[in-house]
Copies of this chain bind each other. A is one copy, B any other.
Amino acid sequence: MADLDCTVDLGRGLRLRTPVLTASGTFAYGFDAPLVDRGALGAIVTKGTTLRPRSGNSPARIAETPSGMLNAIGLQNPGVDAVRREYAPRWAAWDLPVIVNVAGDRLEDYVEVVRRLDGVPGVSGIELNVSCPNVAAGMQFGVDARLAAQLTAAVRAATSLHLMVKLTPNVTELVPIARAVADAGADSVSAVNTYVGMAIDLRRRRPVLANEVGGLSGPAIKPLALHAVWEVVPAVSIPVVGMGGISGPQDALEFLLAGAAAVQLGTVNYVNPNAAREVLDGIRGYALERGWSDLRPFPLRASPVPSHA
């Protein structure tokens, strides 16, 4: 059987051997999920990383909901310096690109984190988390096109790495924000982060999460996330990396048909460590059945003409 060329070029030197990535916060820094078949992965996206170490929110931090889960981890991470000193050297020995997800409260912090990662062997790209809903003021950049563009431009100036900007779906209109970050120099956008939700403990009569609110992920959000990708794809001329509730090959195929260049798997990693392999096999099967030799025929709609190609 002829095999499929599964490579994806996200731009600025970030070439993936497969369109299947792990999503930030669901794979830590790539060392703790031995059951996942790395051969199926195109890249790893790390936990959100901040300038200084953070210990995160009090428990409870997670709660199951119908076909979903809420999380309010609160960006627990060892800080960028630990990442570049301890983790990056190990990543440099891998044949798998690592994209560091970067978070912060202030523009200067984001820029500084990215500056410290720039040129570090083992770091292949940045995913800018403008959308973490769990830190006070963490929403500010992602919900406002002007601020999101400002942040993107500032970070763009600080690195020559591939810059992926991760969109929050908790907005009235996603398209203007996607356009703004694309125009400000993002190489790709990823969509979407979690949806703000909550759960209440009937017995204790208080919110289940210590943080009260959290981000919803998992199959429950798939129709919403797919719609977000469907909207953003024709609006921007850079690749869109889709995610949100992908639980297997069929969901991933829906995102590719909607025009996503690649997909990220998040919560499903907790449920089924084989998911990445199954998704890749499913993509292969679907494409080969249709006689395709690469991933280009996937999108149902023609892409817009690149504005800066």
Binding site for B on A (CB under 8 A): 65-68, 70, 143, 170-172, 195-200, 202, 205-206, 212-213, 216, 218-224, 226-227, 230, 245, 247, 250, 253-254, 257-258, 286, 300
Residues of B within 8 A of A65 (CB): 219, 222-223
**A202 and B172 contacting across the interface, CB-CB below 8 Å:** no
Chain B residues with Cβ below 8 Å from A212 are: 230
In contact, B68 and A223 (Cβ under 8 angstroms): yes
Shortest Cβ distance from A55 into chain B, in angstroms? 25
Q: Tell me how many chains of this kind the complex includes.
A: 2
The CA-CA distance from A26 to B15 in the complex, in Å, is 48
CB distance from A61 to the nearest CB of B (A): 15
Option from B200, B216, B227, B286 in Cβ contact (under 8 Å) with A197:
B227
Task: Report B-chain residues with C-beta under 8 Å of the C-beta of A223.
Answer: 65, 68, 70, 197-199, 216, 220
B172 near A247: Cβ-Cβ < 8 Å: no
Task: Point out the residues of chain B lying under 8 angstroms from A205, CB to CB.
Answer: 257, 300
The answer to whether B172 and A67 touch across the interface, beta carbons within 8 angstroms, is no
With a cutoff of 8 Å between Cβ atoms, the chain B residues found around residue A250 in the complex are 202
User: Is B220 touching A68 in the complex (CB atoms < 8 A)?
Assistant: yes
In the bound complex, CA of A197 to CA of B220 (Å): 11
Measured in the bound complex, the distance between the Cα atoms of B68 and A4 in whole Å is 34
Nearest CB to that of A230 among chain B residues?
A: B198
- In the bound complex, what is the Cα–Cα distance between A172 and B218 (angstroms)? 21
Please tell me if the beta carbons of B200 and A224 are within 8 angstroms of each other in the complex: no
Query: Is B200 in contact with A300, judged by CB distance below 8 angstroms?
Result: yes
Find chain B residues with CB under 8 A from A200 CB. Answer: 226, 253-254, 257-258, 300
